[in-house]
Structures are given as structure tokens and as C-alpha cells.
């Protein structure tokens, strides 16, 4: 496989403020590449530099072997782009926006465009200002996909989409992969990247901290589990289980809150030894994950801790 | 400055307070600076009084042979200009935040809508008072400079009267904005209402015994107070009426704001509702075949259609109107101009040959390029704001070179500018022919069409400044530049400014085309400077980071 995106030592600052620092990665043609990072990590700066909306201070960014800044027009023929914040003429209808961008792209397959509109169930007769944030996102997604580009660069594409449309988006990405096209998407939601992508890079405070296959996510993935017991909670039973990083007793005297890395099998089995009233589990945001995972100077997970 | 809605809103208006206050104040300073040169002899004074009488329909000529009287007369015609800021501020007070979606966040705070409305209103009134203070200071300074006998108290009352009428204009805009979905529609509608009020106010000065008609216009009450004129007492009733109306209309606007949906207009009463139509089915249509969606140029042209229409009506209408005015006053003017060397000097800005119709028209035509350049300022602001608000981001993600995007936008603006100038030429030519006013057609074409390079020069400078500056600062600087240019051109000769300084004003290069034809070299200079500015703006735009 050949690399469609090559980024080498890319840095960008805004005056004295940090943007990205010495970022390097490659995306092979046909890959579904997830670009993960908490808010303000530098995902959008990287993407806007790839799209030649920002000029890098140093380093190189190439798409299909072409320099992103010097040959931006040729590159944009290959790319479908969805910005993180969509701002379009509020007086145009969805249909007019799609037609306008279709013309600017030199024409699109109308049958495919119609199909996209139907799949996202978009009412194209409404003005952009009248759309909800989810519908605005749909307009952005349709315009990114409508010319069937070789590379899709999508900045937090599912923001504001309801679960049904998120599934539709995932199907579209799957079809793009099947057709050999490349998808580069940013997200701060671990599960989304896990479900859609085949390769990930993680950026934090402007620096790339990891790049690799999906396995890279496994050791940073966390679950916050709250178990309420009928009797006083058996904290010691959980303390040394595989993957348990933190055990915390709640003030009600019946509930334990656990931070668990990886699968929950051991925790559930241990809990089943005692009368359980309720059990809830949620995935913390990437910000929270990074806070716990990298609070040790970015060198790995903190040690198991008990606060009962 | 971020501790309350009031302070935040006031902070947002800081540039406007400085720019508009100084601009309006400098205008008064200009008017007063010209006054001494007009009254050098008793004959000149008499001529001035007679000439002002010919323009009584425009503003009441009361004791125009005094500095205060002359300033009041000249400043009286600028009410629409003064009203621009309160119109925009009132129309945007709620609607702009609703358009951006930030009103939702604001109203999620533990504050009532009434309080939000009152804080924003207080900020607008404070801003207007700040502008009034600057106008008062510059009026007093202008009066003192020409020994015009204008006291500080007179200057303060004069500025306060302006502030009160601006309160009222802002209140009208606020109220109208409750019934529209966008701030632009509210501002346009308020401007139209103001135009009607100005015309209503004119009626009693043209047709005797029609004061009752004019009294329907708030401008009538604004004009009742002429504090700069010696011996004129302050009409406290008129001041109170302006203030009272402002309070009532502002209160009505805030009351409606507290009862309507955010983002929607006030619903008409039930008895005015049209019969319910079945809800339209969602459309999946993706192709309209509209000409305006084919390129950046055509899209920009379509966006410009509405402002171009209004500005064409204003500029061409002003041109045609001035032709009619000259015809009506022709006989009177001829007698005055021939008998008064000073009046010939008065028309110096328009040209030195006072023996023709074209002379007075030439002086009045100086306002045409000013208006066209003001149009260019608004469109330069739009370009800058589009980039700032992220509306260029997706366009620039298509295979359109940045240069094409900038030039497409500029070409659309150029097309509008040419259209406005050509329509102005047609309207003035037809009006002149219809009224029997003899004008050199070639010179008339030069006078109207040579506005085009000036408009494009301003736009190019605006595009260039937007390469570094925010939309607000870009527009403020550009507007200030326009005022300074006008100041240099209008009173530069009276202040004996060196030729080199006068050449810094773009209006210098406009010359007196109605009298002397197209100043080819000067026009070439404007075109060259404009092209250089556009080239630099393009060079900057293709290299810069696209901002948000």
C-alpha cells in the first residue's frame, strides 16, 4: 500500500500559543484512520493544515505525494472535507448549498447525491439557518461525500448526529472503505473510532503520543463502573482484580465506584458473589481518560489505588 | 468589561463610539471651519441667506448668517447619516445574538429577558451618550475656532438633541426587529421608515400650513430645537417627547422580546392569520439550475443583488434629485452667484466656474462618490466578516484557487459598482433632459462613471486591510479614512493645506468632471493605486491562514 497522507515534523503555532508540535504520521491508501484527542489537543489545527487553510510553521504535509500548501488545488480535487464548525450562507436552502458546492467541484453525480440526501433523510427545501445542528451536520457530510472523493477528511463528523444517522454515517464510511477510498476522521470519542477505524493516532497538547492499530486503544480504554450492594460493599474483593485501577467507596455506604481498564468480566464475576442492587457502567470522555492515563507524566497508567 | 451584559455590550460598541462620534463631530468641525469664508462681506452674508432659502425644503434656514445658524442648517441635512449607527445597533441588539445562537446561552443565565433587554438598551444609550459627548466637544471646539459664539452649554444641548433622536431611531429599529427574522431586514425596514419621516418633516417647509403633517414625524421635533442659533430657546417639550417616545417604543420592543420565541418573529394576532395550509412535504430536491449557484462570482453577484438595488436607488435617486433641485433654483442661483464672489468660493469644492448649471450640480455631485465609497465599505466589511465567521472555509476546500475566490468576489462587487454608476448616469441624464437642464453629456458621463475607480479603490483597501485586521477594525479604519479624505477635500483649501496633503485624499483625484471632463491622469492614479491595493490584498490572501 502507498501512503495517501504523509505528515512529517509538522508544527504550527498561533502567535505565541501552541497549535501542534512536531507531528508525524502516515495514512495508507484505503485505511480508515482515526485521529483521536481531547478538546484543544490540535486535531483541527492538523486537519486545517492538511486542507491548506493554515500554513505550517515547519515540517511537511503531503497528500497523494503532493505538498498540501503548494499544490492545494490539485489536492482538493481528491478530497471531501467536513469542517469541525460548519458555517454556510444562512439564506441558502440545503439544495442550493449542495448545488453550489457541486458546481465548485466541477459537477457531481446527481443520482448519487439524491441517494445521499435520502439516506440521511434531509429536507433540502429548508434554509440553512432553519436547520437543527444535526441537519446542518448532514448537509456538511453530504457535500463531503457527494463527489465520491479518493480521500475524506472529516473533523468530528458525528457531532450532533442522532444514533440512526450515526449508523448511516458508519455504513457510508464502510462503503468508502470497500471502494478503496481513504477516510481520515477526528474524534474525541473512543468508541466511535473503535467502531469505524482500522488505525488510530492520538494527539495530546499538540503532540502525537501514539500511532498504531486498534490495539493501541485497548490499554487506554477505561470504564467507570458503579455497583450498589445490598450490604456493605466488599471493596477488597475488587482491589486486585485484573484491570481495576481505582476503587472508591461512596458516602451512602453501599456503593463502590471502580475505574477499570479493558474488559469487565472479572469485575462482574466478583460482584456476582455478593447481593447486587444495581450496576451501571459508562465510558469516560477522552478528556477524563487522558487525565487519569497521562497524569503520570504520560508514562503509563497510575497504580491501583483504594479510596474507601 | 465582562462582568455584565451591559459592560460587554458597551465594550462591543467601543470602536463605534470613537469612530461615529469623531466622524460626526469632525463633520460639524468641517461645517464650522467653512463658515468664516462665506461671510467676508455684507453682500456675501446676504447671498448666503438667500441661497439657504433656496434649500429650505432640505433644512430650515434660520439665521444662517451666524456660525450657529449656518452649522445647524448644514448639519440638519445629515440626519439620515447620523441615524445609521442607531439603526444598526437597534436592529442587531437582539437579532444578531439570535442569528449567532449566542442568545440561547445568554438566556440560560439566571437573568430575566427584561433584564437582558434593559442592559443591552442601557449599553446602546451609553454608547450614544459617549458619541454625543464627542460631538459636543468638537462642536464647541469648532465654534471657538471661528469665534462663532457657541457656548459649551449650547454645544451640549445640540449634541443631546442628536442623542435623543438617535435613542428614538434605535428604539424604532429594536421594535421593528421583533417582527423580522434577521437583523438585516430590520435595519433596511427602519431605514425606509426613517426616509418616510424625513420626507414628512420636509412637507411643512415646502407646502404652507402643513405643520400637522410634519408633526407626525419625530424629525420634526428634533428640528424644533436649534440651540446653536443665538436667541433660540430650548424647546424642552420636544426633548421630552423624543425621550418619552424612545422609552415607550423601547419598552414595547423589550415587552415583545419577552413574549416571543427566540429566533422567530412576533406572531401576528390570531385574526390576522392566513388559513392553515397543509404542511409541505419534506423535499429531496438537489438541483435547482439557478444561475447564481454556478460559481463564486455568480453567487457573490446574487448576494449583492439586494444591497445593490437599495444603494442604486439611493445614489441614482440622489443624482436625479439634485438635477431637479438645480433646475428649481436655477434662476435664483444665477442672480446670486453672479453678484457674489464669495458664493463662487463656496462652490469651490465643486468647481470654479459658477456661471453654469453644472457648477452648483458639480458641488452637489461630490456626494455621489462618497455614497458609492460607503457602499464599498459595507461590502469590504462583508468579505472580512465572511472569512472571520468561517464562511470561506468550505469554499476553499473545493478545488478553487484562493486567488479565484478573492477575484470572483471582487469582480461581483465591481459589477455592482459599475451598475450603480451606469444607472446613476442614466437617471441624471434622463432627468436633465426631462427638466430641460442643459448639461454636457460627456462631462455628465465622466462625473458619474469616474466614481467607479473610487469605489473600487476603497473596496481594494478594505480587502487589503482584512488580510491582517478583524472585520470591525477593518470597517472602522476604512470609514475613518473616508471621513478624513472628505475632510481634507472639503476644507483643505480653506485651511490652506499644502497641495501634497490634499493629494492624500482620494476625492482630490475625482476633480470636477461635470465642469472639466474626466481628469485622465488623476483617474489613472486612482486605478493604479486601487490595482496595487488589490494585488497586495491577493498576495496576502493566498498566503494567509484562514481565520475563524
Backbone angles phi, psi at A224, to 5 degrees: -100, 115
Closest by CA position to B83, among listed B201, B179, B180:
B201
- Nearest residue in B to A74, CA atom: B399
Which positions in chain B touch A56 (Cβ < 8 Å)? none
Q: What digits encode the pLDDT tens for the residues B498-531?
A: 888 888 999 999 988 888 888 999 999 999 999 9
Provide the 3-class DSSP secondary structure of residue B216. coil
Cβ burial, residue B230 (10 Å; 0-12/13-18/19+): middle
CA–CA gap between residue B530 and residue B526 (Å, rounded): 6
Q: Which long-range contacts (CB under 8 A, 24 or more apart) does A268-272 make?
A: A270/A237, A270/A238, A270/A241, A271/A227, A271/A238
Using CB atoms, pick whichever of B288, B393, B398 lies closest to residue A83. B393
Q: What digits encode the pLDDT tens for the residues B236-251?
A: 999 999 999 999 999 9
Does residue A298 register a pLDDT over 70? no
Sequence-distant (≥ 6) Cβ neighbours of residue B473 within 8 angstroms? B15, B465
Q: Which one is predicted more confidently, B72 or B287?
A: B72
B279 interfacial to chain A (CB closer than 8 Å): no
Query: At CA A195, angle to CA A191 and CA A198, rounded to 5?
Result: 115
Which of the four pLDDT bands, split at 50, 70 and 90, describes residue B548?
low
Cβ atoms of A35 and A201 within 8 Å: the answer is yes
* Contact across the interface for A104 and B399, Cβ inside 8 Å: yes
Q: What digits encode the pLDDT tens for the residues B23-53?
A: 888 888 878 887 887 777 787 778 778 777 7
DSSP string, A262-293: S--HHHHHHHTTS-EEEEEEEPPPHHHHHHHH
Closest by CA position to A196, among listed A33, A54, A44, A78:
A33
pLDDT in the model for residue B46: 80
Q: Which one is predicted more confidently, B408 or A303?
A: B408
- B290 CA: distance to closest CA in chain A (Å): 8
Using CB atoms, pick whichever of A48, A74, A99 lies closest to residue B288. A99
- B80 CA: distance to closest CA in chain A (Å): 28
Cβ atoms of A203 and A10 within 8 Å: the answer is no
CA–CA gap between residue B186 and residue B178 (Å, rounded): 8
The DSSP letter of residue B210 is: -
Which of the four pLDDT bands, split at 50, 70 and 90, describes residue B353?
very low
CA–CA gap between residue A196 and residue A173 (Å, rounded): 8
Does residue B257 register a pLDDT over 90? yes
The Cα-based distances of B211 to A89, B60, B92, B235, B439 in angstroms read: 47, 13, 34, 17, 37
Cell of A84: 469541525
pLDDT in the model for residue B480: 80
- Nearest residue in A to B101, CA atom: A129
Cβ atoms of B454 and B377 within 8 Å: the answer is no
* Contact across the interface for A86 and B394, Cβ inside 8 Å: yes
Cβ atoms of B367 and B389 within 8 Å: the answer is no
B278 interfacial to chain A (CB closer than 8 Å): no
Amino acid at each position: 500500500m502507498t501512503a495517501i497522507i504523509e505528515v512529517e515534523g509538522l508544527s504550527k503555532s498561533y502567535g505565541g500559543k501552541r497549535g501542534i508540535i512536531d507531528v508525524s504520521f502516515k495514512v495508507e491508501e484505503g485505511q480508515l484512520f482515526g485521529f483521536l484527542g481531547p478538546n484543544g489537543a490540535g486535531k483541527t489545527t492538523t486537519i486545517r493544515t492538511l486542507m491548506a487553510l493554515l500554513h505550517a510553521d515547519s515540517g511537511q504535509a503531503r497528500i497523494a505525494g503532493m505538498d498540501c500548501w503548494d499544490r492545494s488545488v490539485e489536492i482538493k480535487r481528491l478530497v471531501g472535507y467536513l469542517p469541525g464548525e460548519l458555517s454556510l450562507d444562512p439564506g441558502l436552502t440545503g439544495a442550493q448549498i449542495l448545488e453550489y458546492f457541486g458546481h465548485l467541484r466541477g459537477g457531481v453525480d446527481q443520482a448519487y447525491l439524491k441517494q445521499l440526501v435520502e439516506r440521511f433523510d434531509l429536507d433540502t427545501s429548508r434554509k440553512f439557518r432553519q436547520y437543527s445542528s444535526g441537519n446542518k451536520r448532514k448537509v456538511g457530510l453530504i457535500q463531503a461525500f457527494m463527489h465520491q472523493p479518493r480521500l475524506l477528511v472529516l473533523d468530528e463528523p458525528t457531532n450532533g448526529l442522532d444514533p440512526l444517522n450515526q449508523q448511516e454515517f458508519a455504513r457510508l464510511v464502510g462503503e468508502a472503505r470497500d471502494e478503496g477510498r481513504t477516510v481520515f476522521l477526528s474524534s474525541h470519542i473512543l468508541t466511535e473510532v473503535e467502531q469505524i477505524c482500522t488505525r488510530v493516532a492520538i494527539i495530546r497538547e499538540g503532540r502525537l503520543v501514539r500511532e498504531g492499530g486498534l490495539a493501541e486503544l485497548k490499554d487506554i480504554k477505561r470504564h467507570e463502573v458503579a455497583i450498589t450492594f445490598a450490604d456493605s460493599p466488599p471493596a477488597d474483593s475488587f482491589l486486585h482484580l485484573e484491570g481495576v485501577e481505582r476503587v472508591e467507596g461512596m458516602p451512602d455506604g453501599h456503593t463502590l465506584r471502580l475505574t477499570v481498564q479493558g474488559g469487565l468480566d472479572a469485575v462482574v464475576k466478583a460482584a456476582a458473589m455478593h447481593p447486587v442492587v444495581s450496576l451501571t457502567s459508562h465510558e469516560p470522555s477522552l478528556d477524563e481518560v487522558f487525565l487519569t492515563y497521562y497524569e503520570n507524566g504520560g508514562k503509563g497508567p497510575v497504580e491501583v489505588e483504594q479510596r474507601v | 468589561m465582562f462582568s455584565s451584559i451591559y459592560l460587554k455590550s458597551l465594550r462591543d460598541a467601543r470602536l463605534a463610539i470613537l469612530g461615529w462620534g469623531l466622524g460626526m463631530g469632525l463633520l460639524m468641525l468641517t461645517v464650522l471651519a467653512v463658515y468664516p469664508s462665506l461671510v467676508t462681506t455684507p453682500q456675501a452674508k446676504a447671498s448666503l441667506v438667500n441661497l439657504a432659502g433656496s434649500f429650505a425644503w432640505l433644512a430650515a434656514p434660520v439665521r444662517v448668517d451666524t456660525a450657529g445658524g449656518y452649522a445647524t442648517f448644514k448639519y440638519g441635512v445629515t440626519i439620515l447619516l447620523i441615524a445609521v449607527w442607531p439603526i444598526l445597533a437597534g436592529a442587531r441588539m437582539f437579532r444578531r445574538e439570535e442569528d449567532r445562537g449566542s442568545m440561547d446561552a445568554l438566556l440560560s443565565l439566571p437573568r430575566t429577558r427584561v433584564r437582558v433587554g434593559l442592559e443591552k438598551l442601557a449599553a446602546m444609550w451609553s454608547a450614544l451618550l459617549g458619541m454625543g459627548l464627542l460631538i459636543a466637544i468638537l462642536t464647541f471646539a469648532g465654534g471657538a475656532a471661528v469665534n462663532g459664539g457657541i457656548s459649551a452649554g449650547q454645544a451640549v444641548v445640540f449634541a443631546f438633541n442628536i442623542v435623543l433622536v438617535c435613542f428614538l431611531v434605535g428604539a424604532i429599529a429594536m421594535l421593528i426587529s421583533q417582527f423580522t427574522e434577521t437583523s438585516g431586514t430590520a435595519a433596511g425596514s427602519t431605514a425606509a421608515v426613517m426616509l418616510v419621516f424625513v420626507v414628512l418633516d420636509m412637507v411643512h417647509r415646502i407646502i404652507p400650513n402643513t405643520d400637522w403633517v410634519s408633526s407626525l414625524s419625530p424629525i420634526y421635533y428634533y428640528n424644533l430645537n436649534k440651540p446653536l442659533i443665538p436667541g433660540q430657546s430650548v424647546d424642552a417639550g420636544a426633548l421630552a417627547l423624543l425621550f418619552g417616545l424612545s422609552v415607550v417604543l423601547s419598552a414595547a420592543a423589550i415587552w415583545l422580546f419577552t413574549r416571543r420565541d427566540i429566533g422567530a418573529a412576533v406572531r401576528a394576532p390570531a385574526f390576522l392569520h392566513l388559513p392553515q395550509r397543509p404542511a409541505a412535504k419534506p423535499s429531496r430536491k438537489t438541483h435547482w439550475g439557478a444561475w447564481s449557484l454556478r460559481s463564486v462570482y455568480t453567487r457573490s453577484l446574487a448576494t449583492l443583488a439586494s444591497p445593490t438595488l437599495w444603494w442604486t436607488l439611493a445614489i441614482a435617486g440622489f443624482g436625479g434629485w439634485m438635477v431637479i433641485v438645480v433646475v428649481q433654483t436655477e434662476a435664483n442661483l444665477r442672480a446670486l452667484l453672479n453678484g457674489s464672489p464669495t458664493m463662487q468660493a463656496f462652490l469651490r469644492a465643486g468647481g470654479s466656474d459658477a456661471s453654469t448649471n453644472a457648477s452648483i450640480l458639480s458641488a452637489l455631485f461630490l456626494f455621489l462618490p462618497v455614497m458609492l465609497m460607503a457602499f464599498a465599505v459595507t461590502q469590504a466589511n462583508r468579505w472580512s466578516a465572511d472569512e472571520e465567521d468561517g464562511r470561506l472555509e468550505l469554499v476553499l476546500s473545493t478545488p478553487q484557487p484562493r486567488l479565484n475566490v478573492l477575484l470572483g468576489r471582487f469582480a461581483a462587487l465591481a459589477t455592482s459598482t459599475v451598475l450603480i454608476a451606469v444607472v446613476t448616469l442614466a437617471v441624471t441624464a434622463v432627468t436633465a433632459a426631462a427638466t430641460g437642464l442643459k448639461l454636457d453629456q460627456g462631462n455628465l458621463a465622466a462625473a458619474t462613471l469616474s466614481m467607479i475607480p473610487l469605489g473600487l479603490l476603497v473596496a481594494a483597501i478594505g480587502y487589503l486591510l482584512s488580510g491582517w485586521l478583524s472585520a470591525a477594525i477593518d470597517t472602522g479604519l476604512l470609514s475613518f479614512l473616508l471621513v478624513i479624505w472628505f475632510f481634507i477635500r472639503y476644507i483643505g483649501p480653506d485651511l490652506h493645506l499644502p497641495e501634497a496633503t490634499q493629494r492624500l485624499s482620494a476625492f482630490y483625484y475625482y476633480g470636477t468632471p461635470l465642469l472639466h471632463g474626466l481628469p485622465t491622469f488623476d483617474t489613472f492614479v486612482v486605478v493604479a493605486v486601487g490595482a496595487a491595493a488589490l494585488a497586495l490584498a491577493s498576495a496576502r490572501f493566498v498566503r494567509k491562514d484562514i481565520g475563524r
